[in-house]
């Protein structure tokens, strides 16, 4: 029997996404709207295509839109039209819509991080923040920190020129915000209120932590962009040190909520019911 076409065809392009919960999130919200949503994991090497070819294939294959994750967010930015000036400043996209006018890019990591932070800490400003990793998600989080009123940002990345380039962009966008680049995360953590991991270290296949546990002493809060697994070593160390935790799951949740709004042209969703369903161990993809 031929399977009926979905009401909405979506996908996720990235590496190491076999355990991503994004398909389930969008299927659950689809059910809230009596829609059948198909959300495919599109791993370039498994599809037998390079990223550029896979991206170009999607609109002709019927995809309304795609999410883009590590390590392709900056490459996707170069392929889309971005209308939002803040997202243009970020220089990376994680959500792409395909229509007759071409591919349009958005960044729900940017908006999702700000929503996750405010849900946890309200209007309390971030203070001085150490951020490790200045790739696609790091760029989104860094500009989100500007929007949240951070007083100073300390950037760490193995690729120092990349970190320096982001620092200069942040200085231009965030007048009065001190932005510095460091090579040693533990030294840069001294005196910081917030500690952030925006590297893949800690995710399935990249075990470990980007910051030694003793370096967390004296900080107030942490955020880890990794959400598979939810309980990374970075967050376990932070919890042991008594820091307030904002998990990568919260970013996953809010970026997905915001992406759904874009993919569905504003169809509603019940965030409380969605959160409960995603956290319910009995929930499975159907």
Element (H, E) at 132: strand 128-132
Q: In the sheet where 37-42 sits, what is the strand order?
A: 37-42, 8-13, 65-68, 95-99, 102-106
Q: What share of the chain is helix, strand, coil (3-state, %, to 5)?
A: 40, 20, 40
Q: Angle CA(65)–CA(33)–CA(35) in degrees, nearest 5?
A: 60
Structure tokens at 218: 């004296």
In this structure, what token pair is assigned to residue 195? 């500690």
- Distance, in Å, from the CA atom of 132 to the CA atom of 103, rounded to the nearest integer, reads 30
User: How big is the CA angle at 73 (ends 89 and 55), to the nearest 5 degrees?
Assistant: 125
Specify whether 72 is catalytic: yes
CB 31 within 8 A of CB 23: no
Q: Which position among 72, 117, 206, 227 bears the catalytic label?
A: 72
Active site positions, annotated:
72
């Amino acid at each position: 029997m031929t399977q009926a076409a979905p009401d909405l065809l979506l996908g996720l392009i990235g590496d190491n996404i076999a355990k991503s919960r994004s398909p389930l999130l969008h299927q659950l919200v689809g059910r809230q709207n009596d829609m059948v949503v198909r959300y495919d994991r599109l791993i370039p090497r498994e599809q037998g295509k390079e990223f550029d070819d896979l991206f170009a294939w999607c609109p002709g294959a019927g995809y309304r839109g795609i999410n883009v994750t590590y390590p392709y967010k900056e490459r996707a930015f170069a392929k889309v039209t971005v209308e939002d000036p803040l997202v243009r400043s970020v220089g990376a996209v994680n959500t792409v819509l395909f229509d007759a006018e071409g591919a349009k890019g958005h960044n729900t990591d940017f908006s999702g991080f700000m929503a996750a932070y405010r849900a946890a800490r309200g209007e309390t400003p971030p203070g001085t923040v150490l951020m490790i990793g200045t790739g696609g998600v790091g760029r989104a989080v860094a500009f989100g920190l500007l929007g949240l009123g951070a007083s100073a940002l300390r950037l760490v990345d193995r690729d120092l020129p990349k970190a320096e380039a982001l620092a200069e962009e942040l200085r231009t966008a965030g007048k009065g915000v001190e932005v510095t680049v460091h090579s040693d995360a533990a030294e840069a953590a001294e005196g910081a209120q917030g500690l952030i991991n925006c590297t893949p270290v800690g995710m399935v296949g990249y075990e470990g932590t980007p910051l030694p546990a003793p370096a967390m002493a004296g900080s107030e809060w942490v955020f880890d962009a990794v959400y598979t697994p939810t309980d990374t070593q970075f967050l376990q160390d932070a919890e042991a040190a008594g820091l307030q935790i904002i998990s990568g799951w919260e970013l996953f949740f809010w970026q997905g909520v915001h992406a759904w709004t874009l993919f569905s042209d504003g169809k509603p969703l019940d965030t409380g019911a969605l959160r409960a369903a995603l956290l319910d161990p009995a929930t499975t993809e159907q």
